[in-house]
A and B are shown apart, each in its own frame.
Chain A
Amino acid sequence: MLSYLLKRLAIGLVTLFVASLVVFAVLEVVPGDPARLMLGMGASEDAIAALRDQMGLNQPLALRYLSWAGHMLIGDFGRSYTYGVPVRELIAERIAVSLPLAVMALLLSMAVAIPVGLFSAARRGRASDMAVMGVTQLGVAIPNFWFALLLVYVFAVTLRLVPAGGFPGWSAGPGPAFQALILPALALALPQAAILARVTRSALIETLSEDYIRTARAKGLTRSAVLYRHALRNAMIPVLTILGLQFAFLLAGTIIIENVFYLPGLGRLVFQAITQRDLIVVEGLVMLLVATIILVNLVVDLLYAAVDPRLRSPR
């Protein structure tokens, strides 16, 4: 188990290294000069050249990569071209929005999906199961940004229960902050919940046809006891896989959703930084997201082991 984890960790690090090369190389060819963008239409050429010098854009490519990657190893993501502040600070500010949002969405989707999956699996084939699965089928088909628009239309524009967008900041207190995150979290969570509910249901049904379920039934356990005590934990394995994948989807989803709701999170930052050609921020952010996904996969591997003793110990 330990050597397996070390191997996964090593693979993760290599992936991260290759990713850093790819990200750097890719962003180097992005057209557009950040210095010119900052100074705008009226700027003179020598002012732009002076700014490029200040920003270190005139150094050779390899040198810039080495300095960038080297600094990143010690946790220094560099300084934003446009904001002039350390990228780390920018990320820290934005993550305070994105992380709660992603976590809220993840928890929300689990809180909806797993009970629904259990409900449906327990009533497999009955009308209630069919109805629930029909709804989830619909949920899977709904693009989250459209769902977000509908939520805005209903809850913000028509009913005016919550703000349609924007983020008052955590300094405004948890109440308004959470209020601003409710709709985005819902928009992210429900389509994901639909997928998760379907996976949970089919994993449970798959598990329910296993021999050991019959063993448990032969012990005298009732249907529901078998479902909760035996099927659920075994069904968690495919559910975990999907949860891991979903986290990556949620991160990507926040890019769109933060744009819909205008939340100052990582998703907006990356979009904004790309349009502003603040490449150092983009590079740092992409690496952060890639590292997060690798880390999440590693955590999922660990959770597999927690759920499944076969992965914990050799035979």
Chain B
Amino acid sequence: MIFRTSSISAPKFALVALAALFLSCMSAAATRSDLTLGMVLEPSHLDPTAGAAAAIDEIVYANIFEGLTRIGPNGETEPALAASWEISTDQRSYVFHLHKGVKFHDGTAFDAGDVKFSLDRARAADSTNAQKGLFAAIDQVEVIDPATVKVTLKYPSGDFLYNMGWGDAVIVAPESAAANKEKPVGTGPFKFRNWAKGSQIVLVGNPDYWGEKPALDKATFRFIPDPAAATAALLAGDVQAFPSFPAPEAVPQFQADPRFQVVIGTTEGETILAENNARPPFDNPKVREAIAHAIDRKAVIDGAMFGFGTPIGSFFPPHHPAYVDLTGERKYDPELARKLLAEAGFPKGFRTTLKLPPPTYARRGGEIVAAQLRAVGIEAQIIPVEWAQWLDQVFKGRDYDLTIVSHTEPNDLDIFARDDYYFNYHNPAFKALIAQIAATTDDEKRNALYRRAQQILSDDAPVAFLMQFPKLGIWDAKLQGLWKNYPIQANDLTAAKWAD
């Protein structure tokens, strides 16, 4: 704990001294090897193969569990449990060579059988894996020998190695898989110690780790959903890092404070105003275009995110090599929006609803968007919903007009090609394009196709594109090795360490 003694007047000193005495033990150590991280959401359990919550990966990914491959700090696919692999020329069979001498945290050995078990389990009929689509291409998994696995695909997949790096594809042991929700057992550099529900989860260093041991020997993830409390906890030193800080309004305060470093990175979160393309008047392209022109992305970013976030003109992350800046295509132009509305048959605008899930970006952004729509004549009634309702009503039931949400999965451009997706957007040309991308393994060719896809979405305006969600990382100035970006939602602590 750090005190700015200069700000404390004399009479309060006794109290402060007392408080300092209580807490002195925490600041005494010379070089620390422990770290407390703040997280907004507490996961409901810790098994990444049985739940979609980003909060699970934010704790266990790369720390407790490892997959065949892993996704690195900049989104690159790297080897993990598989030291190397060979791909057949038809791109349909992969042979993975596994690291030897790897042990699970419960002492059982890791081998090819575990890989087969994990992949088969994930794609089984009764599997509760939230991302079964990742395994859709797999036809067969064979154990060649304890250190070699062969995976045969039904069709070539450019994303296969990348997909195997997701948290949902980590390798678990048959002995412990059933209990992973409560007591996760993986092969990673950290072991699960304990979980105080509603408060924190503690990991400790794994002395038997097969790879290079991390600098930290203890990591505590503390759950602080409230932005104000998050600010306070950082200021008080209760947490030393908040990799994804929830209160953009408080960031300038930390930027001005030399005790902290503020690292603004990127995420895979394309944040959009989704429109129900099947429901009038949003089935009318002119209405959708009008909405696209009615929105001032800068105001949304300034107002809801206090300036953090990158405006996007289509559904693609700006840090991706294939990104095209299309923000100029649908410019903020309320006059044009009104005109388009009139052309669509709504000269006086119309009334509609805007369902907002709980996160601040959605609620605040929604208020601004509603105000902007009101300015062109569209009266959008705000209906706040919980996530459970949002999933039920909006995502599954497609019972909505407008909603704001951030799509955080990496590489998820294909959602606009899905038939049953909640946008109700159907464009055969776009669908064909996505199919083509999936089957293309050459990077340059893929990127070209990606650019075309971006352009289609900008032209069709099935939804209004707002911004790429920023990663607001704030941590102690002496802390090093945390990820700047979120190519995948994870807090990989293998490289984290304290400077002296």
Please tell me whether chains A and B touch each other in their complex, using a CB distance cut-off of 8 A: yes
- Which residues of A does B touch, CB under 8 Å? 31-34, 36-44, 46-47, 50-51, 54, 82-85, 90, 93-94, 152, 156-157, 159-169, 171, 175-176, 179, 259-262, 264-265, 268-269, 272, 274-278
Q: Tell me, yes or no, whether B44 is within 8 Å of chain A by CB.
A: yes
CB-based contact B45/A83 at 8 Å: yes
Q: Tell me, yes or no, whether B432 is within 8 Å of chain A by CB.
A: no
Report the minimum CB–CB distance from B336 to chain A (whole Å): 33
Q: What 1/0 flags go to B172-202 for Cβ under 8 Å of A?
A: 0000000001100000000000001111100
Taken together as a complex, chains A and B put the C-alpha atoms of A156 and B238 apart, in Å, by 13
- Which residues of B does A touch, CB under 8 Å? 3-4, 7-8, 12, 15-16, 19, 22-23, 44-45, 51-53, 125-133, 181-182, 196-200, 222, 224-226, 228-229, 231-233, 235-236, 238, 358, 386-389, 391-393, 395-396, 407, 409
CB-based contact A54/B224 at 8 Å: no
CB-based contact A47/B236 at 8 Å: no
16 A-B pairs besides A38-B51, A162-B19 with CB distance below 8 A are A32-B386, A32-B392, A36-B392, A42-B52, A47-B129, A51-B128, A83-B197, A85-B182, A156-B232, A161-B16, A165-B233, A171-B196, A260-B226, A262-B224, A264-B198, A275-B386
Known: A160-B3, A166-B238, A277-B388. A39 touches B130 (CB 8 A): yes
- State which of B44, B130, B198 has its C-beta within 8 Å of the C-beta of A42: B130
29 A-B pairs in the complex with CB atoms less than 8 angstroms apart: A31-B389, A32-B389, A32-B391, A33-B391, A37-B391, A40-B53, A41-B391, A42-B131, A42-B409, A44-B133, A46-B125, A47-B129, A51-B128, A83-B197, A84-B181, A90-B197, A93-B196, A94-B197, A157-B235, A159-B12, A164-B233, A164-B235, A165-B229, A166-B238, A168-B238, A169-B200, A261-B229, A275-B358, A276-B44
Report the minimum CB–CB distance from B136 to chain A (whole Å): 10
Report the minimum CB–CB distance from A151 to chain B (whole Å): 12
The residue on B at minimum CB distance from A171 is B196
Q: Which residues of A contact B16 (CB under 8 A)?
A: 161
CB-based contact A268/B198 at 8 Å: yes
Q: Which residues of A contact B392 (CB under 8 A)?
A: 31-33, 36
Q: Which residues of A contact B44 (CB under 8 A)?
A: 38, 82-84, 276, 278
The residue on B at minimum CB distance from A170 is B196
Taken together as a complex, chains A and B put the C-alpha atoms of A32 and B397 apart, in Å, by 11
Report the minimum CB–CB distance from A27 to chain B (whole Å): 12
Report the minimum CB–CB distance from B242 to chain A (whole Å): 12
CB-based contact A163/B232 at 8 Å: yes
Report the minimum CB–CB distance from A147 to chain B (whole Å): 15
CB-based contact B8/A176 at 8 Å: no
Q: Count A-B pairs with CB separation below 8 Å.
A: 155
The residue on A at minimum CB distance from B19 is A161
Known: A161-B16, A268-B198, A276-B44. A39 touches B128 (CB 8 A): yes
Taken together as a complex, chains A and B put the C-alpha atoms of A156 and B125 apart, in Å, by 53
Report the minimum CB–CB distance from B228 to chain A (whole Å): 7
Taken together as a complex, chains A and B put the C-alpha atoms of A9 and B386 apart, in Å, by 39
Taken together as a complex, chains A and B put the C-alpha atoms of A85 and B222 apart, in Å, by 19
CB-based contact A32/B132 at 8 Å: no
Report the minimum CB–CB distance from A82 to chain B (whole Å): 4
CB-based contact B233/A34 at 8 Å: no
Report the minimum CB–CB distance from A255 to chain B (whole Å): 14
CB-based contact A164/B199 at 8 Å: no
- State which of A33, A44, A156, A264 has its C-beta within 8 Å of the C-beta of B197: A264
Q: Which residues of A contact B199 (CB under 8 A)?
A: 167, 169, 264
CB-based contact A176/B128 at 8 Å: no
Known: A41-B395, A84-B182, A93-B196. A163 touches B22 (CB 8 A): no
Report the minimum CB–CB distance from A87 to chain B (whole Å): 11
Taken together as a complex, chains A and B put the C-alpha atoms of A262 and B181 apart, in Å, by 24
CB-based contact B228/A152 at 8 Å: yes
Taken together as a complex, chains A and B put the C-alpha atoms of A161 and B235 apart, in Å, by 12
Q: Which residues of A contact B197 (CB under 8 A)?
A: 83, 85, 90, 93-94, 264
The residue on A at minimum CB distance from B42 is A272
The residue on B at minimum CB distance from A261 is B229
Report the minimum CB–CB distance from A284 to chain B (whole Å): 14
CB-based contact B224/A161 at 8 Å: no
CB-based contact A47/B198 at 8 Å: no
Instruction: Choose among B126, B181, B229, B407 the residue with the greatest number of A CB atoms under 10 Å from its CB.
Output: B229
Q: Which residues of B contact A268 (CB under 8 A)?
A: 198
Taken together as a complex, chains A and B put the C-alpha atoms of A38 and B52 apart, in Å, by 7
CB-based contact B236/A42 at 8 Å: no
Taken together as a complex, chains A and B put the C-alpha atoms of A44 and B395 apart, in Å, by 12
Taken together as a complex, chains A and B put the C-alpha atoms of A31 and B181 apart, in Å, by 26
Q: Which residues of A contact B130 (CB under 8 A)?
A: 39-40, 42-43, 47
- State which of A85, A152, A161 has its C-beta within 8 Å of the C-beta of B12: A161
The residue on A at minimum CB distance from B53 is A40
Taken together as a complex, chains A and B put the C-alpha atoms of A221 and B233 apart, in Å, by 56
Taken together as a complex, chains A and B put the C-alpha atoms of A1 and B231 apart, in Å, by 55
CB-based contact A94/B8 at 8 Å: no
- State which of B198, B389, B393 has its C-beta within 8 Å of the C-beta of A269: B198
Taken together as a complex, chains A and B put the C-alpha atoms of A50 and B231 apart, in Å, by 40
Report the minimum CB–CB distance from B250 to chain A (whole Å): 11
Report the minimum CB–CB distance from A303 to chain B (whole Å): 33
CB-based contact B45/A164 at 8 Å: no
Taken together as a complex, chains A and B put the C-alpha atoms of A82 and B52 apart, in Å, by 12
CB-based contact A164/B12 at 8 Å: no
Q: Which residues of A contact B125 (CB under 8 A)?
A: 46
5 smallest A-B Cβ distances: which pairs? A40-B52, A164-B232, A32-B388, A264-B198, A165-B229
Taken together as a complex, chains A and B put the C-alpha atoms of A82 and B23 apart, in Å, by 35
Q: Which residues of A contact B3 (CB under 8 A)?
A: 160
CB-based contact A262/B226 at 8 Å: yes
